Amino acid sequence: RQVPDQDTGLTQTSHCTCVSAAQRRALWRPVLPDAAWHQRLLRCTHCGEGRLSLSELRHLDCTSPELSSVDLDRLYTQEERGAILQVLNTASREELAGIKLLRGRKSANIVQHREQSGPFTRLQSLLHVPLFKHKTIVKVCQSILSPLQEPAKREKKLHGLKFVKPDVERKQLLAAKTIVSIVFGIRRIAWAHVDHNLTVMDWDQEESHRYMKGPYQPSLYLEEISSAVSKIPAADFYVLEKPGISTQNVNLFPVTLHLRTVEAMLHGLLCPHFPQDRQHRVLSVVRTAVGKHFQLMVGEARTSGRELVQQLMADSVIQENPRVLFPQDTLARYRRLFQRAGPDRGEEMCDALLQAIAFYEFLFNDS
């Protein structure tokens, strides 16, 4: 509600009793000539006849009725209500999740409610379903009646090289004959030496039980990581897995500290000539990017790639053009290693191999 400016007499906004509830807004102007203006009367610009004094304006109810006070079933015709209830009573949880605003728990709550209380007979009964408010129900009903025709999703091409840091010119990466992919955990450092034809030249790991025991002694890390680096083959580039642990998770701070320490020391030991030539030969790849490339992600978590690696070893024997090639003289040894290993053994080796494959496929696809 607004009152007229006493000096300028500019148009003010209020409501008039001559308009319906659906047309609550109307403009009021000072009544002219000046003989009437001293009475502070306002004229309705909707009908041209209505008059309202300032004293009446102060008591005029300018509020709109709350939407939540309206019966949901009265907002729609009988045919519309039937169509909405048909969907709510027959659609599966997966089908409901495809409707706007019904993803997640809302679709599950609808299915649970109709299983416990029977099919919906009125839209108003949706207010008894958890997570459903009046405005939400209106939007859901509108989505059911007028579903948005979402454009067909184009298949996303994962430009994997943007997950490789630091930035190196593509032509330098394409000129590389071999890379060593390195993945490290709490106890092991694993590597996969792969050439540009995706032939596995070396695949192994170094294990240590001295990490994360007592204080983080720099000399201990130097001894253990230097021992592993001495066994890692020489290559044009070394690709490290970028740990994906959030620094905000206080409970995992000791693990984060260990992984970052190993990562930093590997950068220094694998690229000792960087101060002279300023050439980055140690790169990092985001762990989740590799997981998405091989469809190993479940939500934000990455699942094991062990079965995928075993399938790749089998394909190397039976397929004419396998995705990755294992030399016959080493394949039997790798198979025995995985048969001998426990359920958590060899995860770093699997991840190192998958990271090498993903790196080359990122490179070739982006080229």
pLDDT tens series, the chain, 367 aa: 444 444 444 444 444 445 444 344 334 444 444 444 445 666 666 556 666 665 555 555 444 444 456 788 888 999 999 999 999 999 888 888 888 788 778 888 898 999 999 999 999 999 999 989 888 899 889 888 887 544 444 444 445 578 889 889 888 999 999 999 999 998 899 999 999 999 999 999 998 888 877 777 888 899 999 999 999 999 999 999 987 776 667 788 888 888 999 999 999 999 999 889 899 999 999 999 999 999 998 888 888 898 999 899 999 999 888 999 998 888 888 887 776 655 556 889 999 999 999 999 998 875 5
What does DSSP assign to residue 213?
S
Peptide bond into 215 cis (omega under 30): no
Q: Is the separation of the CB atoms in 290 and 358 below 8 Å?
A: yes
Question: In sequence order, what are the residues at sequence separation of 6 or more whose Cβ sits closer than 8 angstroms to the Cβ of residue 61?
Answer: 15
Distances (CA, A) of 176 to 172, 201, 272: 7, 15, 19
Q: State the Cα–Cα distance between residues 242 and 164, nearest whole angstrom.
A: 9
Q: Output the pLDDT for position 64.
A: 43
- Lookup: tokens for 232: 């890692």
Cα–Cα nearest to 305, from 338, 258, 328:
338
List helix spans (H) across the chain.
Answer: 34-37, 54-58, 78-90, 93-97, 105-117, 134-145, 170-175, 218-231, 253-270, 274-277, 287-293, 306-318, 328-340, 347-366
Q: State the Cα–Cα distance between residues 51 and 32, nearest whole angstrom.
A: 12
What does DSSP assign to residue 183?
E
Report helix, strand or coil for 365: helix
Q: pTM of whole model > 0.75?
A: no
- Lookup: tokens for 194: 């792969």
Burial 43-65 (b: 16+ CB within 10 A, else e): bbebeeebebeeeebeeeeeeee
Q: Output the pLDDT for position 55.
A: 59
